[in-house]
Structure 1
């Protein structure tokens, strides 16, 4: 049952979000602020390190999950606070996002890798490395709302 004068749309604060990401599906799209530009070889090496025993231990931890605990704002501009679980460790994170009339959601969150026991990637004697705090961005399309109560 949808309550309130919202024209039949569920209000953000009455919603919840659960996201599961397969760790071996992650990729590096962009890097800024380094001593040298990120090459395709660098990108491939980082992704190999993410997958194996290096950073995310994908065999032992095949998924990353996010479950909302609180949502504020509007469908066009929102914040979602929730619990992010990486490598079996859970900590709170706030996602900042926006939606458009076509149903595409875009957003970002900052994550400090060491909070989840991840040692930031480093190579070439430190000439190529990721900072401990990284910005994770997403774009989601074709989403379907789960049925509401009642």
Structure 2
């Protein structure tokens, strides 16, 4: 089984590109603090790759400092660089991305760290601001 689940903050804005066939691919790096009891906090920087529609969404809604959760698989690859030296790359291929907080992980949703209008936050709890009870008719659910 090859499954990775990560929660961290973006180190820079995502980079959106397209393959020669027009397929969207977005790359970004997530910084994840290791849990330690000493004063010296260690951080891992994990490279993430998202493809197709997920790549478009990540490029549109993520930004430097934004917190996200990434679910995917670990992939390794290698290539020869311009100097002829073999380079090994380990990255996570995203299968699902949850947009968690605004800039700096402050819990604010929105595009590129901006505060959205009420009811337009695509990342937050859709029921948090209404305060009203929700009646669900279980007979009409589609599953």
Same fold (TM over 0.5): no
Bigger share in strand = 2
Bigger share in helix = 1
Q: TM-score, normalised by structure 1?
A: 0.29
